[in-house]
């Protein structure tokens, strides 16, 4: 069965159309044009602000003219990540989705359900001729995944709506009323390279198959971080066998838990056989720690030509110590909301190449002071070894409003439709609502969506039945938008 034949067909067909368009963060030219062409084809007012956000406006259907205008919002960009064995060009190829039981997945890449399902649902509403709804301002933001620059630079004067439906959460039984803010902490340090001593050869370690996932939503699950795990191997091989760093390439995206790390080392020829055994033995110990969360984790060691240069011993120690010192994982749980991560940090990227040591990490928190505390903790660890640290991409969280009128309305609709209470929660991810609330003052906001698992990884998948549930719920919410005051 084709994904296009799934119900609701309008949503799935728009999702497949969208997935045929390359849409990496900061490379949204094609998908922006795709969306502008879509709005124009429907004869709807279609705008683009200076930064590149696309807005499509649709009048209310008959009988709904006196209802409040609704801003329906999702982001156009998606995380582009693939397995190391997958041959795929994100710049030119469309995502290849398929049905696997109750889920839709992609062949060896991220699926783009985050936030493609939201975009596709809004497109289906805009194209519909028989769905009752108030006046709609469809807001498609850009670059959500790598800095939220679309939301941060939104021209709020183009919008008149007072209610915001953000369709970017990942559990179909949840209504989200708050989220974490974030800040990037990046560093670089020049390292001294020196000639490789005689009697050395080269090896390459490849750590792959880790589960990965969203570094906000999934950080509480305790999954292995490839950068931190590989650093343990490097220290072990240095302490016991005299291994020296040549190159490191770990992680890929700032907002994803690193799934892979690759390291080239120079080792004494006399230790080569022992090192092969040592890596295998040490991997068994580490695998026992993460067997539940990362069952597909594996490490391979292969011989390579002896490198001409290695990192100086002093700088190697600084690199190893810095990676060990960078906090990774849950930093603090919320005291107000049970089970919610308040503050976290993820070491997303580690690079040692051509005489430079570079890192990228992302700190998140629903409390501004705690966010800066963990960010400064990471800064201190890196500056202690002499790295130059840059912090940027700072964006605010979204403070929960338990007395929100749209929350009360959507709660009641959920209970009537599904005969159960929704989970009203804040999430440890960077939704755009906090920023949009600053750009369009007075917004009453709620966020919901279908069930999506493992976003930001090639294991990303969306539940088919939850899309049907989400669509039914969305239509009912639109039908019950309150009248203007």
Q: Which residues are catalytic?
A: 77, 144
130 vs 139: CA distance, rounded Å: 21
Measured in residues, the chain has a length of 485
3-class secondary structure, 367:
coil
Q: Match 């340090």 to its residue by tokens.
A: 189
Residues of the chain by 3-state class (helix, strand, coil), percent to 5: 30, 30, 40
CA angle, corner 13, sides to 11 and 16, nearest 5?
110
Torsion angle of the four alpha carbons 197, 383, 392, 246, in this order, in degrees rounded to the nearest 10: 10
Q: Match 């369009």 to its residue by tokens.
A: 440
Measuring CA to CA, which residue among 262, 159, 273 is closest to residue 208? Answer: 262
Structure tokens that stand for 463 in this block: 């539940």
Contact 44, 57 (CB under 8 A): yes
Measuring CA to CA, which residue among 74, 117, 24 is closest to residue 461? Answer: 117
364 vs 372: CA distance, rounded Å: 9
Per DSSP, helices labelled H in 25-138 are: 29-41, 113-127
Evaluate the omega torsion of the peptide bond into residue 318 and state whether it is cis, within 30 degrees of 0: no
Sign of CA dihedral 16, 22, 25, 29: negative
Residue 48 forms beta bridges with which residues? 54
- The H or E element that residue 70 is part of is strand 70-75
DSSP state of 125: H
Residue 462 forms beta bridges with which residues? 104, 452
The DSSP code sequence of 386-433 is T-EEEEEEEE--B---TT-HHHHHHHHHHHHHHSS--EEEEESS--SH
In angstroms, the first-to-last Cα distance of the chain is 48
3-class secondary structure, 456:
coil
Measuring CA to CA, which residue among 248, 258, 402, 382 is closest to residue 327? Answer: 382
């Amino acid at each position: 069965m084709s994904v296009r034949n799934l119900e609701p067909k309008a949503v799935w067909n728009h999702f497949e159309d969208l997935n045929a368009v390359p849409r990496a963060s900061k490379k949204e030219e094609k998908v922006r044009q795709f969306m502008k062409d879509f709005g124009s084809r429907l004869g709807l007012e279609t705008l683009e602000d200076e930064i590149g956000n696309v807005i499509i406006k649709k009048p209310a259907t008959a009988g709904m003219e006196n209802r409040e205008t609704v801003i329906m919002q999702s982001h156009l960009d998606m995380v582009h990540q693939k397995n190391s064995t997958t041959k795929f060009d994100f710049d030119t190829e469309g995502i290849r989705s398929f049905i696997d039981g109750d889920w839709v997945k992609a062949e060896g890449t991220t699926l783009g359900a985050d936030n493609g399902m939201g975009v596709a649902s809004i497109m289906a509403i805009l194209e519909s001729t028989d769905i009752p709804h108030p006046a709609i301002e469809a807001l498609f933001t850009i670059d959500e995944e790598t800095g939220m620059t679309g939301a941060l630079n939104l021209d709020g004067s183009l919008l008149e709506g007072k209610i915001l439906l953000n369709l970017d959460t990942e559990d179909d039984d949840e209504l989200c009323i708050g989220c974490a803010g974030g800040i990037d902490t990046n560093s670089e340090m020049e390292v001294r390279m020196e000639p490789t001593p005689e009697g050395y050869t080269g090896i390459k370690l490849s750590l792959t198959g880790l589960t990965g996932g969203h570094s906000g939503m999934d950080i509480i699950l305790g999954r292995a971080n490839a950068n931190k795990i590989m650093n343990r191997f490097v220290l072990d091989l240095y302490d016991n066998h005299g291994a020296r760093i040549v190159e490191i390439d770990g992680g890929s995206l700032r907002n994803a838990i690193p799934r892979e790390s690759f390291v080239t080392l120079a080792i004494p020829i006399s230790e080569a056989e022992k090192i092969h055994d040592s890596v295998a033995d040490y991997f068994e110990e580490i695998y026992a720690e993460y067997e539940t969360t990362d069952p597909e984790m594996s490490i391979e060691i292969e011989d390579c030509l002896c490198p001409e240069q290695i990192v100086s011993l002093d700088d190697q120690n600084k690199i190893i110590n810095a990676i060990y010192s960078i906090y990774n994982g849950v930093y603090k749980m919320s005291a107000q909301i049970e089970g919610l991560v308040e503050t976290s940090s993820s070491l997303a990227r580690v690079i040692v190449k051509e005489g430079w040591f570079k890192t990228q990490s992302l700190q998140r928190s629903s409390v501004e002071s705690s966010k800066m505390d963990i960010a400064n903790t990471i800064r201190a660890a890196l500056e202690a070894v002499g790295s130059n640290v840059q912090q940027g991409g700072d964006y605010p969280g979204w403070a929960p409003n338990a007395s929100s009128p749209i929350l009360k309305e959507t709660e009641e609709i959920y209970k009537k439709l599904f005969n159960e209470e929704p989970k009203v929660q804040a999430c440890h991810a960077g939704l755009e609502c906090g920023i949009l609330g600053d750009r369009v003052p007075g917004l009453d906001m709620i966020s919901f969506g279908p069930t999506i698992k493992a976003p930001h990884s090639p294991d990303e998948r969306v539940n088919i039945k939850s899309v049907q549930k989400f669509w039914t719920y969305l239509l009912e919410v639109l039908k019950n938008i309150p009248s203007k005051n």
